[in-house]
Amino acid sequence: MIYEFQNPIPVIIKENGAEAMAIYVVTGGSFENDLWTVILCNGGDVITVRIDQIKMYNNKTFDITK
């Protein structure tokens, strides 16, 4: 199933610390293997990463900050 976010979610790519905006996620099972499609803030490349390759760094709803 694909979940498209109404507002992109800011994330960090763990491997290189690059900032990105998540635009949608494809579920891969009950609790793992989700694939996130993100747009890199520097350059605008669109890539797909696994859930364990990113972390959310700013979300006011959940009071998460950098």
pLDDT at 33: 79
Residues shown for the chain: 66
Instruction: Determine the pLDDT at residue 62.
Output: 64
Q: Report the C-alpha gap between 57 and 45 in whole angstroms.
A: 19
**SS3 for 65?**
coil
CA distance 32 to 40: 23
What is the reported pLDDT for 18?
A: 94
Summarised one tens digit per residue, pLDDT across range 9-55 is: 889 999 999 999 999 999 877 767 799 999 999 999 999 999 899 98
Main-chain phi, psi angles of 55, to 5 degrees: -140, 145
How does residue 7 score in pLDDT terms, banded at 50, 70 and 90? confident
* Of 61, 63, 56, 62, nearest in space to 11 by CA: 56
Q: What is the pLDDT of residue 66?
A: 62
Where do the domains of the chain lie, and which CATH numbers do they carry? 2-62 (2.30.30)
